[in-house]
Amino acid sequence: MAKNVTEVTDNSFQSEVLESTKPVLVDFWAPWCGPCRMVAPVVEELSGELSEKIKFTKLNVDENQNVAAQFGIMAIPSLLIFKNGQVAQQHVGALSKAALKGLLDKVL
């Protein structure tokens, strides 16, 4: 995992995501999910470019089902962008770097 992407869990979600002072991208994923593996390098690449403005995190839905249920994650990959503790943008499914950057730009 890239050094700019933080792994979050049910236990750390509140402090890492909801209480963050800057917007947070949460990549809801699982190891067995093919499209998740396609999104991961895109998230990692953008984290290298935008980590000053946005915090990048990943949450394994197999290991952290409480948070996934709390936000109604039914399909993965699901990318949720939180701002001030609220979901500001969300996208389900794989997407291009340009498309993800567009979602992030809406929040900045």
Cβ-based neighbour number of residue 87 at 10 Å: 12
Positions annotated as catalytic residues are 33, 36
Residue 98 maps to which CATH number? 3.40.30.10
User: What domain count does the chain have?
Assistant: 1
pLDDT at 42 (0 to 100): 96
Burial label for 28, CB within 10 Å (0-12, 13-18, 19+), is buried
Q: Give φ, ψ of 76 to 5 degrees.
A: -130, 155
Residue 33, domain extent:
5-107
pLDDT value at 88 more than 90 = yes
What pLDDT, in 10s, does the model give residues 58-76?
Answer: 999 999 999 999 999 999 9
